[in-house]
Amino acid sequence: MSDTIFDYIIVGAGTAGALLANRLSADSSKRVLLIEAGDKDNYHWIHIPVGYLYCIGNPRTDWLYQTEPEPGLNGRQLRYPRGKTLGGCSSINGMIYMRGQTRDYDHWAQVTGDETWSWSQVLPAFKQHEDHYLGADALHGAGGEWRVEKQRLRWDVLDAFAQAAVQAGIPATADFNRGNNEGVGYFEVNQKKGWRWNTAKAFLRPACQSRANFTLWTQSQVSRLLISQRPDGHSVCTGVQVWNGQEMVQAHAAREVILSAGSIGSVQILQLSGIGPAELLQRHGIEVLHDRPGVGANLQDHLQIRSVYKVQGVQTLNTLANSLWGKTKIGLEYAFKRSGPMSMSPSQLGAFTKSDPSQQWPNIEYHVQPLSLDAFGEPLHRFNAFTASVCNLNPSSRGTVAIRSGHFLDAPAIAPNYLSTPQDRKVAADSLRVTRHIAAQPALARYQPEEWKPGVQYQSDEELARLAGDIGSTIFHPVGTTRMGRSEDPQAVLDSHLRVRTQHGLIAGLRVVDAGAMPTITSGNTNSPTLMMAEKAAAWIQQEAGA
């Protein structure tokens, strides 16, 4: 590894970075460098779907971030997983394929002033890389790199929950990705024949690695951007400084540096490079190149509130996985059929509905699991139970990401600020009531569901909001920390083509293409919307290069 010149440097080989590397290196005349802080995705637990249990909290695959103590969570700190390997979060996430709703993207078009972000204009970008198991139609693509499949398992207790949801007024659906995701049904997943399908498999192998113009650096962490001033006074990003574990080296970009390090990592790199809130940078001895208060602001995430119900007369993963015979059965089913619990995403059944009738659109999402535990990473309970986790799809709370020091190896401070608004606390309380309403329906009665957590003794808005703080946890969807917006918006970090703004224009040669660019969080899981953004950004970059 030495000082080298490329046309494009992509920082982060995760969800967005892998697709960008694929698209930009397709032009053999363009030299593309992809830089990943983590290692290759050759850890076997990445590829077995249930392996997320062994990847989250593992320094081999996870940055091991934690939040600051959260007032809205009654002082608790949360583990905050982010992928640190080829494929990034697509190598450790829940594999759920979810686009969001038409209203999400129409709102993006409104706040950016750019109609290319409207639903009708992002749909082709979703379809471009999609390979849906049912084939192509007006709303789905086939033949792309991003495989979407039906899950390879079912559970009686989840079927009963789905029937109960229908009885509670939530319609059944076979497809959450047609613009309005209201309904209940099994999630579709990014898997291929029972294996996890991450973006490294989809976009890097074999396409990129067979191209002479493509270079990959792993175990290489970008410490800062190289930014200089043009004679006309405008800034230009010319490359990156990289720590490879032994020495600091530089790589230079003739055309662009593209930050795809995620909602946490891209913020840290910008701030360390002198782009961010001036007071924060000065506090840590960093020269302020551009005072941009929006860098690290506007953090949004989905907080899941986990209700646990004990059940009778039906098997769940709790008892199946707590016996030697059950473990053997699970292993054999996966070995011979690539199905069963080892093929499970963390959540199998989903539902979208309204927290109260006044809502215009579905504003809460359920992730329902045939298991229960005290906290992620803890052992399963020894009694049969299911967990109905519900999250507010459109939180009004906003948090921050901020460097703790001027050193790139120090993790930033992450403060999501959950449940900090009256609206979010009200939705939390109402959503717990919706869960109780579903659990009380006849379809579940034969299993005698008993609310074990949070407990039926809690009834008032105040009690339920406080309990939500006790049992709530991130569902791993941080977005918005480098959001795009209009030129007159001082908090907008990017323009609508994801280029980095200053007070007086743009930093030439610098883009941020990851979930941090979202102005508002999508109504559902955020991995596939990030891929869509990268697809659009790749097209813009190629157009600007005259490709």
For residue 20, give the nearest of 159, 197, 204, 183 by alpha carbon: 204
Burial class (CB in 10 A: 0-12, 13-18, 19+), 262: buried
| Assigned token pair, 75 | 């002082």
Q: What angle do CA 30, 36, 88 make, to 5 degrees?
A: 110
| Assigned token pair, 165 | 């949801």
- Is residue 477 annotated as a catalytic residue, yes or no? yes
Quick check: 484 and 494 in contact, CB under 8 A? yes
Angle of helix 422-439 versus helix 156-167 axis, rounded to 10: 110
Give the type of residue at 38. Answer: G
Query: In the Cβ-directed half-sphere of 243, how many Cα atoms lie within 13 Å?
Result: 11
For residue 227, give the nearest of 217, 215, 237 by alpha carbon: 237
For residue 368, give the nearest of 345, 341, 394 by alpha carbon: 345
| Choice among 129, 140, 290, 477 that is catalytic | 477
Could you write out the DSSP letters of every residue in 204-269?
ITTTGGG-TTEEEE-S-EEEEEEEEE-TTS-EEEEEEEEE-SS-EEEEEEEEEEEE-SHHHHHHHH
Quick check: 513 and 259 in contact, CB under 8 A? yes
What positions carry a catalytic annotation?
477
